[in-house]
Structure 1
Amino acid sequence: MKVLTGAQMAELDRQAIEGLGIPSLVLMENAGRAVVAELCARFPHIAQKKIVIVIGKGNNGGDGLVVARHLLDCGASVQVHALCHPKEFSPETRHQAEILQKLGFALQYSHKPKDIPKLAQALADADIIVDGIFGTGFRGAARDLAAHAIELINLSSAFVCAIDIPSGVEADTGHVLGPAVCADCTVTFELPKLGLVLYPGRQYVGELVITPIGYPRVLVDQYASKMTLVDAGWVRERLPRREPYSHKGDYGKVLVIAGSRGYTGAAALCAEAALRAGAGLVYLAVPESLLPAMEAKLTEVIKLGVPDEDGAVASSALPKIFEMLDDKDVLIVGPGLGRHPQTVKTVKQLVAQADKPLVIDADGLNALGTEAEKVLAKRTAPTVLTPHPGELSRLIATSIDEIESDRVGIARKTAQQLNSVVVLKGVPTVTATPDGEVFLNSTGNSGLASGGSGDVLTGCLGGLLAQGLDSVTASVCAVYVHGRAADLLKPSVGERGMIASDVLRALPQALREFE
C-alpha cells in the first residue's frame, strides 16, 4: 500500500478537486460518514453514548461537523466544541456549520480561556471523543487553547477517535513537538500518511483504520509515491513457491562467514535461520578453533573451518573462503565476526571481490566503517546492508539522533550513496533501494529488541535470496516474516521474555501463512 506525506496528500486532494472536478464537500461528506461507520461498528448502541467532538478551524474540523450531523441522525447525544471563532472557519467548515445551524444544532465555541472549564467538564463526562482539531497540514507544536484541549482529551477516560491523524502529530515526519492526542483509533482517509507509521507519531495513533472516501481508483493508482507500507498481501504475491517435484539444489546454497570466540551464537542463529527460510543448503565457515562448538550446536548446517587467529578469522583465510564460495549462490558476512584487525582486512577484501549476492551485517558493517563507499564501489553483484542505527552511524559518520529523526530520508540517501539495498532496523524497519524506493514494515514488536534478533533476520534474508528473489524483494519479505514471527510469539511468550532463538523457531509458522 502506498504511503504519502501530508504534502503529497494535499496534492492528491488538489488533483481530485481541481483536476477531476470532485467537490471538496463530497470528499468531506464521505470522510465524516466513514468515521461514523467506524464508531457505529465499535459501539452498536451508539445512541446511548455521550459524544464530544473537538474541532479546529480547518477542513479537519469540517470533517468533524459531518461526523456530528450523522451521529445526531443515529440518536447519539452530541456536543461540538470549536476552538476558534466561527469567522475563522475554512469555507468548507463554515458550510458544514451552517447546515447544523439550520438543523437547530448549536455549536459550543471554546476559543477563550474562560471557556476551558466548560470544555473540561464535557470531555470528562464523555463516552466517546472525536478529535478534529488539526489535520495533515499541521506543523510544529500545538499551543495555547489547542494545547490545553489536547491535554484535557488525554486526561479523559473516554474512547478517543482521531480524524485522519491525531492532532499534534506531523503527517510528513511523525514528529511530535508538543502535546498530541493519544487516540484509541485513527480513521485515516484513502492512504496512510508517513507520520502515522513512523515513531513517535505512531504511538499516538492507536488502531489505524484506512478507509476510501471517493478518490477514483485510477487517480490513486497513478499517483507517484516511492513509499510502500508492506502488508501480508505484498509478501504473499512475491514469496517463491515450493514445487512438489523439487530437491535441495533447487532452493539455493548459502555460505555464511561468521563467528569468533565468544560470539558463536550469532553464527549459529544466522545459519539456521537461512535454512528455516527455505534455503536448500547452508554452509557455515567459522575460525577452525570454533568448529567443535558448531558441530555440537548445529545439525543440518554444514560446518567448515577457516584459518584462525586468536579465535577470529585470519587474513590467510581469504583464498579458502573464495574456494568455498565458488559454487554458492549467496554470501552472508558479519554475524559475530568480531573486530580483530586480520578479520577486518579479510572482510574488506572479500566484500570488494566477491561476485555473488551479498548480505552484510553486524561486524561485517563495522569492518567497512567509513571506507564503505570505496569498498562497495568495487562490487559487481547485488549488495544488502542490514544496520541498526548504531552500525549505520559508524558507517556514514552521522549521529544516531540524526538518523532516528529522519529514518526514511537517511536510509534512502545511504542506499543511493552506497549503491546497496539498506535495511535500517528499528521501529519500523525501513528498507531503501538505490533508486529511491522505500518500504516500511508493519510487523514486529519490542520482543525483537534482544541480542541475536538481527542475526536471525540476516539469515532469513540470505535464505530468501538463495531461492531466487531479487535483493529488494528478499529484504522486504525477510523483514516482514521476521516481524511476523515475533507477533505470533507474543500471545505465548510475551515481548519481555522473547529471545532470538524463539523467533528462529517461529519462522516456519510465519512462513506457513504464505503457503
Structure 2
Amino acid sequence: MEIMDVKTLRSMDERAITEYGIPGILLMEAAASSLLRHINPSLSYAVILCGRGNNGGDGIALAIKLFQMGKEVDLYLLDDADKINGDASVFYQMAQNMEIPMTILKEEEDLWSFQEALGDADLIVDAVYGTGFHGEMPPFLGLVIDMVNEYQEKVMAVDVPSGLLPDQGTPSPYTVQANRTVTFEAYKKGFFSYEAMPYLGEVLLESVGIPKKLKAEMTQSTYFVTEETACALLPRRIITGHKNTYGRVLAVAGSQGFTGAAMLSVDAAVSSGSGLVVLTSFDETLGILVPRLTEVMSLPLEKLESGVRSAQAVAFGPGLGQHRDVYKMLLRTVKTLQEEKESRKTLVLDADGLRAMVGKCDLFEEMSFPVIITPHPGEMSILSGVSKEELEKNRLETAVSFAKKHGVVVVLKGYYTVVTDGERTYVNSTGSSAMAQGGMGDVLTGIIASFAGQGLHPLDAAVLGVYIHGAIGDELSQTRYTVKPSEVVENIPKYLKKLLDKTIVRERVSKADV
C-alpha cells in the first residue's frame, strides 16, 4: 500500500479528472459512500462540521446520504455560501434544496447551539481542512476545535484531522483529536510521525475510485507493509532443496552475562529457514552455550574469518558487550567481507555492533557489500546526531537521510518500524507494545539475517523480517498481556507456513482471474 505526500495526491486527483474524465463530484460522492461504510447504521443524529473546499464537500455529500436514510443531520459551515467553491458548491446547493439544517459559525454567540448539538450527537464529523491545512489556524476555528475535542470518542475525521500537517504530521496548537480517521487512496506521509498519532485514532484506508492504472503511474517511493507485501517476498522452498540451498548464517554474538542474546538470534535464524547457522563468540560464552546449541554449530573467535567466508549473511552484535575487542572483531569481519565482495554477502549490524560504530560511521562508506543496520531510536540518535525529540518528529526523514548518506539499509525500530535504503522506504504495519522486552531485537536480527542468507535482496530481507516479527507478536498478544522473545522464535515456523499457504491461495486466485 502506498504512502503519499499531498503534492502527489493532488496530482493524482487532477489526472483522474482531466485524463480519465472522472467528474470531481463523482469522486466526492465516492468519498461520502466510503465514509458511510464506517458509520454505525443505528446512528440517530450526526453533526457535520464543514470547510469551504473539497473536504467540506465530502462532508456535505455525507450529510445528504445520511439525510436520505432518514437520519437527523445538522451541518455547521465555517464560511458563507458564496465562499464554498468547486465541486463542494454542487453538494451545498443540493443540501439547501433538500432543506438539510445548516448553521454558519461566525461569531462566538453561534457556539452555544453548536455546543449543545455536540453533546446530543452520536457522531461528529470533521470535514474542515483534510489535506488543505497549511499551519495557520484562525483563532475562532481554534475555539470550535476545542469544543469538538471534548467529545473525541464521537469524532470521525475526513482524510486528515483538521489542524494536522499531512506531510509532516505536526499538529497545530488546535488540532482535531479523532476517534477514527477515514483517509482516501493512500496513507498520508505525516501519519507516521509519533506527534500525529494521538490525533488520528484508528486509521481506515478507503478508495474514492481512482483508477488502478493511474495509481500505478504515480511515482512513489514510500509504502505501507501489509500481509500482501510479505506474501510477495516470502522465499519458496523447492522440492529438491537441501541445507546449502537455504544459506548459511554466521552470528557473531554473546558475551558473559549476555548469552541469551546469542541464543535468541541464532534460534530465530534457524526457525526462519536457514540451512545452517553458526555461532562464533568468546571462549567463555561458547563454553556456556555449546551444550544448549542442538541445531547450531559453534566456531571459536580465532576462526572468525573462515566463518565469514563460509556464510551468506553475518549477524554481528547481539549481546557482544561494549569492550574494545568488539570493534576489532568488526574490523576483521569487514575486512573479510571486503575480500569476498564478489559474492555479495550481507552484514546485519545490531546492538553492540552498532555501538562499536559510534563516531566511526565513515566506515560504512568503505563497505562494498550490503549492510543492514537495526537501531532502536536511542541508537539511531547517537549514530545520526539527531536528538531523540527530533527523531520522533521525523522518523522517515532521519532514516532515509542516514541510509542515503552511508549506503546502508536502515531498520529504525519502534512503533511503525521504518525500513529504507534511501531510495525506497517501507513503514511496517505490525508489532505492539506487548513485545517491549529485552531480546526482541536479537530475534529480529536473526530473522533478517536468515532471509538475507536465503538470497533475498537486503531491503526485502529487512522488510519481510520486520513484518513477520511484528505479526507473530500481534497474534500472540491476542491471548497474552506480554509476549516473550522466545515465544516469537517458537512461532516463526508456524507463521511462515500460514503465510506460505496464503501465498499459494493468492497465486491460484490470480491465475484464475487471468
Choose from 247, 257, 264 the match for 1:252. Answer: 247
* 1:175 and 2:158 aligned: no
Choose from 33, 45, 50 the match for 2:42. Answer: 45
Q: Percent identity of the aligned residues? A: 35
1:361 maps to 350
Choose from 454, 459, 465 the match for 1:467. Answer: 454
RMSD between aligned alpha carbons? Answer: 1.9
**Match of 2:304, as an amino acid?**
I
1:498 maps to 483
* 1:487 and 2:474 aligned: yes
Q: 1:27, CA displacement in angstroms? A: 1.4
**Match of 1:453, as an amino acid?**
M
**Match of 1:326, as an amino acid?**
R
CA distance in 2, matches of 1:143, 1:490: 43
* 1:406 and 2:394 aligned: yes
* 1:113 and 2:98 aligned: no
1:223 maps to 218
After superposition, where does 1:68-87 map in structure 2 within 5 Å?
68-87=63-82
1:57–1:93 contact (8 Å) kept in structure 2: yes
Unpaired stretches in structure 1, ≥5 consecutive residues: 307-316
Secondary structure of residue in 1 paired with 2:429 = coil
1:294 maps to 289
CA distance in 1, matches of 2:240, 2:46: 61
CA distance in 1, matches of 2:192, 2:14: 23
1:256–1:283 contact (8 Å) kept in structure 2: yes
Secondary structure of residue in 1 paired with 2:399 = helix
Q: 1:153, CA displacement in angstroms? A: 2.5
CA distance in 2, matches of 1:352, 1:392: 24
Choose from 440, 444, 451 the match for 1:453. Answer: 440
* 1:331 and 2:314 aligned: yes
Secondary structure of residue in 1 paired with 2:357 = helix
Q: 1:466, CA displacement in angstroms? A: 1.5
Gap change, CA 1:305 and 1:189, over 3 Å in 2: same
CA distance in 2, matches of 1:243, 1:417: 38
Residues 279-299 of structure 1: CA deviation (Å, up to 9, x unaligned): 111111110011232124433
2:430–2:474 contact (8 Å) kept in structure 1: yes
CA distance in 2, matches of 1:76, 1:159: 16
2:126–2:158 contact (8 Å) kept in structure 1: yes
CA distance in 1, matches of 2:269, 2:172: 42
1:129–1:158 contact (8 Å) kept in structure 2: no
Secondary structure of residue in 1 paired with 2:132 = coil
Query: Normalised by the size of structure 2, how large is the TM-score?
Result: 0.91
1:313 maps to none
* 1:380 and 2:365 aligned: no
Moved more, 463-472 or 348-357: 348-357
2:506 maps to none
After superposition, where does 1:289-328 map in structure 2 within 5 Å?
289-306=284-301, 317=302, 320-328=303-311
**Match of 2:276, as an amino acid?**
L
* 1:390 and 2:390 aligned: no
**Match of 1:487, as an amino acid?**
D
Q: 1:276, CA displacement in angstroms? A: 1.3
1:198–1:428 contact (8 Å) kept in structure 2: no
2:503 maps to none
Residues 223-261 of structure 1: CA deviation (Å, up to 9, x unaligned): 001001110011101201123443222211100001122
2:348–2:373 contact (8 Å) kept in structure 1: yes
Residues 410-437 of structure 1: CA deviation (Å, up to 9, x unaligned): 2111111111111111221111114x11
CA distance in 2, matches of 1:294, 1:214: 57
Q: 1:397, CA displacement in angstroms? A: 2.4
Choose from 469, 474, 478 the match for 2:465. Answer: 478
* 1:433 and 2:418 aligned: no
1:7 maps to 7
Moved more, 330-339 or 167-176: 167-176
Secondary structure of residue in 1 paired with 2:46 = strand
2:152–2:177 contact (8 Å) kept in structure 1: no
CA distance in 1, matches of 2:160, 2:292: 49
CA distance in 2, matches of 1:104, 1:396: 59
1:200 maps to 195
Q: 1:122, CA displacement in angstroms? A: 0.5
Secondary structure of residue in 1 paired with 2:238 = coil
1:509 maps to 494
2:25 maps to 25
CA distance in 2, matches of 1:268, 1:147: 54
Residues 288-332 of structure 1: CA deviation (Å, up to 9, x unaligned): 0112321244332222332xxxxxxxxxx4xx2002222221111
Q: 1:352, CA displacement in angstroms? A: 4.3
1:120–1:152 contact (8 Å) kept in structure 2: yes
1:251–1:466 contact (8 Å) kept in structure 2: yes
**Match of 1:395, as an amino acid?**
L
CA distance in 2, matches of 1:325, 1:343: 16
1:7–1:172 contact (8 Å) kept in structure 2: no
**Match of 1:491, as an amino acid?**
Q
2:429 maps to 442
Gap change, CA 1:265 and 1:76, over 3 Å in 2: same
CA distance in 2, matches of 1:352, 1:439: 30
**Match of 2:326, as an amino acid?**
T
Gap change, CA 1:510 and 1:204, over 3 Å in 2: farther
Aligned residues: 494
CA distance in 2, matches of 1:70, 1:44: 12
Moved more, 383-392 or 296-305: 296-305
1:311 maps to none
**Match of 1:164, as an amino acid?**
D
Moved more, 27-36 or 180-189: 180-189
1:411–1:424 contact (8 Å) kept in structure 2: yes
1:141–1:178 contact (8 Å) kept in structure 2: no
* 1:340 and 2:335 aligned: no
**Match of 1:445, as an amino acid?**
S
**Match of 1:372, as an amino acid?**
C
CA distance in 1, matches of 2:174, 2:287: 57
Moved more, 482-491 or 503-512: 503-512
